[in-house]
């Protein structure tokens, strides 16, 4: 926002204080009541004389205070903390061979969207960087009505049947006796639930991985989680899995960094999304699908309808069908981000359900949630939820009008008895968890082990820890052993093999060895988070450490190239205001070292300048800034006399300072930053910050 725009806002606020409001047509109008009665005094209640009591006839006061006490609505039970943006989806081609969904029927067709990202377990004020699953929901405003693709940044889920969903969420929320949230998941109730649910172990591997700590919303993947159907005009069905692939690459932060960001800026992800759009560095994702013909449903060694499983890309490649670009921030957070109502049951012709039991349950829960939060069934009349297609539903009464979406469902033959029993093809809970862990790099495996040690270290009940380690032993012996060593647990329990390769209903599941199917894929590289570094440095934040006497040629060359690449460069100095260049130029300081922290940036640049370097190396905060950036495996570029500052750091004592670029050109630095981090540096660091 420019200084001129900020000044305009201040003027408008002053007008409001003086009972005038600036309208859309530029005219100044007096403030009024809801019935448009002009208000002459908004500072004093109506009273009986100067010292007398307030009068009940003051309907202006009552209207104002009544709205205030009723302006809050219940927060979402899950996904409470969110950030959102407007944008569009553009189809890459004509996909009518697979689906009759109109918005996918022509290359270049654009459909308005509203995307909301969230944390799952935390409440509204929770830190964005807590270890948690992130929600990824997109509302498509198509010509056939609203279509909601409601998913997460992880492709699987904790449970396979929706009847256990309340138990899962209760376990993940604060303990009921004291309402203390220790972290997103570090509590006895949660880990007790997980240790008794073998089906959750695949999800736990993802949750304990770096996937749960995305660097930003624009650098995380999204997944539809469930198996849906595409249906074409000939009523031919393909099972479909949805994937959002960030064009900026898939990047995370370290756990130490996440905890520090939570203290520095709990709104880090929300702020990153907002600022990127305001600056024109628009977040983008490709939408891809995995398609399986109806006849091939049972060709895999797992069940397509099991939401705790994924389809490895090596078996079914992802076909890109379009892209999403977010290009506008909400005008009002409450009216749009808070009141947007997603529902997996909001479909359009050409997209339909499967018999996934978790998906079936979600069809019931979402409308009930909106009924509770938004005060009525007809929440589609709220502007952010209103379809762009004409609505003709013949409704006359209710809190708000309600649209009924009518379209033909897929003709699926279903024949079976009413039973309470899961499919036997859902019984293998550990093969894909094992596949995920073994596919990770050594660094990523170490992060998973560290995460499990941290989370289980908060658990107070020893039996729960032992139960979790038994579960981990089904996935990988080394994984279980390393986690156990963190708690001085030396004996790994070995259950006996279950005769029917599943857990008997009336016995302790920990007494039986579950079925583990050997995968036909040895190491699925597509599951490696660091495998896709993205395209360039758009959306990254670069810290520039400088002081009086900085060489402006060195500084400006880097700043121009960084800004041109779509990154956001901030000049950091020992004080705010301005610094002077070596040739007398005046340079604006964006932040002082007192208020800045390296964890809020992706890389650091120290420009040349003898005097600048001399000033900075006398400041412990500048040295600590570089040390911490090095500890978190970030790229650091140093020009000229800036090397004198580097020599003051603990990091400089490393024999091989990987990722520290001395007197390199700016293009080399930009290519390096696009790789995000030098994670292998973790093995050789000894930095006390």
**Domain range list for the chain:** 82-153+214-385, 430-530, 538-684
Question: Do residues 440 and 448 lie in contact, with contact meaning Cβ atoms separated by under 8 Å?
Answer: yes
Radius of gyration from C-alpha coordinates of the chain: 28
The answer to which of 63-77, 245-259, 537-551 has the lowest mean pLDDT is: 63-77
Show the tokens assigned to 323: 């892209």
Beta-strand relationship, 568-573 and 541-545: parallel
| Interval 482-502 mean pLDDT | 67
| pLDDT, tens only, 191-226 | 999 999 999 999 999 999 999 999 999 999 999 999
pLDDT at position 255 over 70: yes
CA dihedral 550, 554, 557, 560 (to 10 degrees): -20
Mean pLDDT along residues 135-153: 96
Say which range, 37-51, 318-332, 450-464, has the weakest mean pLDDT.
37-51
CATH architecture of the region 538-684? 3-Layer(aba) Sandwich (3.40)
Query: CA 5 → CA 19, 26, 74, 85, 590, distances in Å?
Result: 21, 15, 34, 21, 18
Instruction: Identify whether the C-beta of residue 141 lies closer than 8 Å to the C-beta of residue 111.
Output: yes
**Residues 381, 86: Cα–Cα separation, whole Å:** 18
Q: How confident is the model at residue 43 (pLDDT cuts 50, 70, 90)?
A: confident
For 370-399, write each residue's pLDDT tens digit: 877 887 777 888 889 888 887 766 666 565
Q: What is the DSSP letter of 467?
A: H
Instruction: Write the secondary structure of 66-85 as one string of H (helix), E (strand) and C (coil).
Output: HHHHCCCCCCCCCCCCEEEE
Predicted confidence band of residue 592 (pLDDT cuts 50, 70, 90):
very high
430-530: CATH architecture: Up-down Bundle (1.20)
Residue 507, pLDDT > 70, answer no
CA 288, CA 149: separation in Å to the nearest integer?
13
Q: Which of 40-54, 80-94, 352-366, 441-455 has the lowest mean pLDDT?
A: 40-54
Of all residues in the chain, the percent with pLDDT exceeding 90 is: 54
User: Each residue of 347-366: pLDDT tens digit?
Assistant: 999 999 999 999 988 888 88
Dist CA 190 CA 95 (whole Å): 43
Q: Is pLDDT of 520 > 70? A: no
pLDDT for position 8: 47
Q: What is the pLDDT of residue 408?
A: 59
Contacts of 622 (CB under 8 A, 6+ apart): 545, 574, 593, 616, 645
- Condensed to tens digits (0 to 9), the pLDDT of residues 631-673 reads 999 999 999 999 999 999 998 887 678 899 999 999 999 999 9
User: Cα–Cα distance between 182 and 176 in angstroms, integer?
Assistant: 13
**What count of other Cβ atoms lies within 10 Å of the Cβ of residue 210?**
25
Most confident of 439-443, 630-634, 676-680: 630-634
Q: Is the pLDDT of residue 573 over 90?
A: yes
* Rounded distance between C-alpha atoms, residue 607 and residue 645, angstroms: 11
Which residues touch 267 (CB under 8 Å, ≥6 apart)?
128
Check residue 549 and give its pLDDT: 95
Lowest mean pLDDT among 96-110, 120-134, 470-484: 120-134
**Exposure class string for 215-228: b at 16+ Cβ within 10 A, else e:** bbbbbbbbbbbbbb
Work out the pLDDT band at 38, boundaries 50, 70, 90.
confident
**Residue 510 predicted with pLDDT over 80:** no
The answer, yes or no, to whether residue 483 has pLDDT greater than 80, is yes
Residue 35: CB atoms within 10 Å: 7
Residue 120 and residue 134 in contact, taking contact as beta carbons nearer than 8 Å: yes
Closest to 315 measured CA to CA, from 533, 515, 522: 522
At residue 421, does pLDDT exceed 70?
no
Confidence of residue 423 (pLDDT cuts 50, 70, 90): low
* 82-153+214-385 is classed CATH 2.40.180.10: yes
Model confidence at 176, pLDDT cuts 50, 70, 90, reads confident
Using H for helix, E for strand and C for coil, what is the string for 87-138? EEEEECCCCCCCCCCHHHCCCCCEEEEEEEEEECCCCCCCCCCCCCCEEEEE
Look over the chain and give the mean of its residue pLDDT values, rounded to a whole number: 85
At residue 257 the predicted structure's pLDDT band, cuts being 50, 70 and 90, is very high
Q: Is the pLDDT of residue 59 over 50?
A: yes
On the question of pLDDT at 11 being above 60, the answer is no
Which of 272-276, 314-318, 456-460, 546-550 comes out lowest in average pLDDT? Answer: 456-460
What percentage of the chain carries pLDDT values higher than 70?
A: 83
Give the residue, 39 or 664, on which the prediction is more confident. Answer: 664
Instruction: Indicate if 538-684 has the same CATH topology as 82-153+214-385.
Output: no
Indicate whether 587 pLDDT > 70.
Answer: yes
Phi then psi dihedrals of residue 637, to 5 deg: -110, 135
Of residues 634 and 531, more confidently modeled: 634
Residue 165 to residue 145: CA distance in whole angstroms: 29
Separation between Cα atoms, residue 565 and residue 405, nearest integer Å: 44
Residue 277 — pLDDT band, cuts 50, 70, 90? very high
């Amino acid at each position: 926002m420019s200084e001129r725009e900020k000044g305009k806002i201040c003027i408008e606020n002053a007008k409001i204080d003086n009972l005038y409001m600036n309208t859309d047509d530029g005219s100044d109008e007096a403030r009024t009541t809801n019935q448009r009665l002009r208000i002459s005094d908004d500072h004093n209640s109506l009273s009986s004389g100067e010292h007398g009591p307030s009068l009940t006839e003051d309907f202006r006061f009552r209207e104002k205070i009544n709205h205030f006490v009723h302006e809050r609505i219940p927060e979402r039970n899950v996904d409470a903390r969110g950030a959102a943006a407007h944008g569009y989806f553009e189809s890459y081609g004509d996909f009518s061979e697979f689906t009759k969904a109109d918005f996918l029927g022509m290359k270049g067709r654009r459909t308005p969207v509203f995307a909301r990202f969230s944390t799952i377990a935390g409440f509204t004020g929770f830190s964005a960087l807590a270890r948690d699953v992130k929600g990824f929901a997109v509302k498509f405003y198509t010509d056939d009505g609203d279509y909601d693709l409601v998913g997460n940044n992880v492709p699987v889920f904790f449970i396979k049947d929706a009847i256990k969903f309340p138990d899962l969420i209760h376990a993940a929320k604060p303990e009921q006796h004291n309402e203390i949230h220790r972290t997103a998941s570090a509590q006895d109730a949660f880990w007790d639930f997980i240790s008794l649910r073998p089906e959750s172990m695949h999800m736990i591997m993802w949750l304990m991985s770096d996937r749960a700590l995305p660097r930003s919303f624009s650098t995380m993947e999204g997944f539809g989680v469930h198996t849906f159907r595409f249906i074409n005009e000939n009523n031919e069905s393909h099972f479909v899995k949805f994937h959002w692939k960030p064009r900026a690459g898939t990047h995370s932060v370290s756990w130490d960094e996440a905890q520090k960001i939570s203290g520095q800026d709990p709104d880090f992800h929300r702020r990153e999304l907002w600022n990127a759009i305001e600056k024109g560095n628009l977040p983008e994702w490709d939408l891809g699908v995995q398609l399986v013909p109806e006849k091939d449903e049972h060709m895999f060694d797992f069940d397509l309808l099991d939401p705790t499983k994924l389809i490895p890309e090596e078996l079914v490649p992802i076909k890109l069908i379009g892209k999403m670009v977010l290009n506008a921030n909400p005008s009002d957070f409450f009216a749009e981000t808070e009141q947007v109502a997603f529902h997996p049951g909001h479909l359009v012709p050409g997209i339909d359900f499967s018999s996934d039991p978790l998906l079936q349950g979600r069809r019931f829960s979402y409308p009930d949630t909106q009924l509770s939060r938004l005060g009525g069934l007809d929440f589609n009349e709220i502007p952010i939820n209103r379809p762009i297609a004409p609505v003709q539903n013949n409704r006359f009464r209710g809190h708000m009008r309600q649209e009924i979406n009518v379209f033909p469902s897929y003709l699926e033959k279903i024949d079976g008895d009413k039973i309470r029993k899961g499919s036997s093809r859902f019984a293998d809970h550990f093969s894909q968890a094992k596949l995920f862990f073994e596919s990770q790099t050594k660094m990523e495996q170490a992060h998973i082990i560290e995460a499990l040690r941290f989370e289980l270290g908060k658990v107070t009940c020893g039996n729960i820890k032992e139960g979790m380690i038994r579960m981990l032993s089904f996935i990988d012996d080394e994984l279980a052993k390393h986690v156990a060593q963190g708690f001085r647990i030396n004996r790994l329990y070995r259950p006996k093999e279950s005769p029917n390769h599943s857990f008997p209903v009336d016995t302790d599941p920990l007494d039986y060895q579950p079925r583990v199917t050997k995968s036909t894929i040895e190491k699925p590289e597509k599951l490696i988070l660091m495998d896709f570094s993205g395209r360039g440095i758009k959306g990254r934040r670069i810290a520039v450490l400088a002081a009086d006497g900085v060489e402006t040629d060195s500084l400006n060359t880097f700043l121009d190239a960084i800004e041109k690449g779509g990154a956001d460069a901030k000049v950091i100095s020992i004080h705010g205001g301005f610094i002077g260049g070596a040739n007398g130029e005046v340079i604006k300081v964006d932040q002082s070292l007192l208020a800045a922290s390296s964890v809020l940036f992706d890389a650091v640049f120290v420009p040349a300048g003898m005097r600048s370097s001399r000033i900075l190396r006398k400041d412990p905060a500048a040295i600590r800034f570089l040390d911490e950036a090095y500890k978190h495996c970030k790229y650091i570029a140093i020009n000229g006399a800036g090397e004198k500052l580097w020599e003051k750091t603990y990091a400089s004592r490393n024999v091989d300072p990987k990722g520290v670029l001395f007197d390199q050109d700016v293009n080399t630095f930009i290519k390096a930053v696009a790789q995000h981090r030098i994670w292998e540096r973790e093995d050789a660091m000894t930095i006390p910050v």
